[in-house]
Amino acid sequence: MSLDMFLQHLANGISLGALYALIAMGYTMVYGILRLINFAHGDLFMISAYMAFYGVALFTLPWYVSFALAIVLAAVLGMMVERVAYRPLRDAPRISALISAIGVSLLLENVAIVVFGGRPKAFPRPSLFAYEWKFGEIRVLSLTLFIILISVGILLAVFYLVYRTKTGRAMRAVSRDFGIASLMGININQVVSLTFAIGSALAAAGAIMWGMKFPQLLPLMGVVPGLKCFIAAVVGGIGSIPGAMLGGFLLGVGEIMIVAFFPTLAGYKYAFAYLALILILLVKPRGLLGHVAEEKA
């Protein structure tokens, strides 16, 4: 493989990894706070993409308005889901919330099938993102670079929020210990809602960029990325925000590179994430950047 090809694949990999990182962060934040795998996260991703699409296609809004609106609406939807489907089960065994998450996921997918229809929709790709730059043999879409820049920007913003602000400290406290955090006067419900809002917004941002990169919208488009990104979060260390970022990038780069070097395995691309998951859970269950905490009997 020539250096040019390698760099092209690398760029694609990092770009994909950035998207995975954004979505993985949403998972990890929710898991960190509620110890819940939000199975519906991937479907929120999907709905955001559709909302952004309809904003442009149906309401003929300019793309930047539609995109921004989709992100806001996604945050609201995320908070609603938490309020309706997870909060009532907070005292129930953890499995109940997990089953509820599955239920929400099923509901969102089926509603999407009914409302949006099963035929793929074409996501808008504004010309800003459609330039193609040529470096020698390499062709890079401006989109690819924008994705990396925007994602990194968002990730830094989240980092700042969680580690440098009072709100972020509250979020970290709640994820450490629910009971004590509430005794310290932190409003748990607010923190949880905020976490869901941010997580959903991240998914929405990821969805919009995903839609521009892979313009085919389908009702079940969120399932595979959703699962892959949760795996990325686990590989990096579930509950750890840097971990989610690392996991996302590793997964994105890995996926592209493996297919680049072994094109015959392309059909199995999907399975790599799962194999990575199984491997990590067996070898280092806390993930690459996770903490080891021994359970006291």
Residue numbers at the binding site for another protein (CB under 8 A): 35-37, 85, 88-89, 92, 94-96, 98-100, 102-104, 106-107, 110-111, 113-114, 118, 223, 227, 230-231, 234, 267-268, 270-271, 273-275, 277-278, 281-282, 285, 294, 296-297
Query: Looking at beta carbons only, is 201 or 277 nearer to another protein?
Result: 277
Query: Looking at beta carbons only, is 11 or 233 nearer to another protein?
Result: 233
CB of 165 to another protein, least distance (A): 29
Q: Would you say 148 and 249 are in contact if contact means Cβ atoms under 8 Å apart?
A: no
Query: Looking at beta carbons only, is 88 or 120 nearer to another protein?
Result: 88
Strands 138-141 and 132-135: antiparallel
Query: Looking at beta carbons only, is 52 or 108 nearer to another protein?
Result: 108
Round to whole Å and give the CA distance between 251 and 272.
9
CB of 88 to another protein, least distance (A): 6
Query: Looking at beta carbons only, is 1 or 282 nearer to another protein?
Result: 282
Query: Looking at beta carbons only, is 96 or 182 nearer to another protein?
Result: 96
Round to whole Å and give the CA distance between 278 and 271.
11
CB of 158 to another protein, least distance (A): 23
CB of 210 to another protein, least distance (A): 20
Query: Looking at beta carbons only, is 83 or 125 nearer to another protein?
Result: 83
Q: Would you say 276 and 235 are in contact if contact means Cβ atoms under 8 Å apart?
A: yes
Give exposure, 178-211, as e/b (b: 16+ Cβ within 10 Å). beebeeeebebeebbbbbbbbbbbbbbbbbbbbb
CB of 72 to another protein, least distance (A): 25
CB of 34 to another protein, least distance (A): 11
CA terminus-to-terminus distance, the chain:
54
Query: Looking at beta carbons only, is 88 or 126 nearer to another protein?
Result: 88
CB of 53 to another protein, least distance (A): 19
Q: What is the number of residues in the chain?
A: 297
CB of 290 to another protein, least distance (A): 12
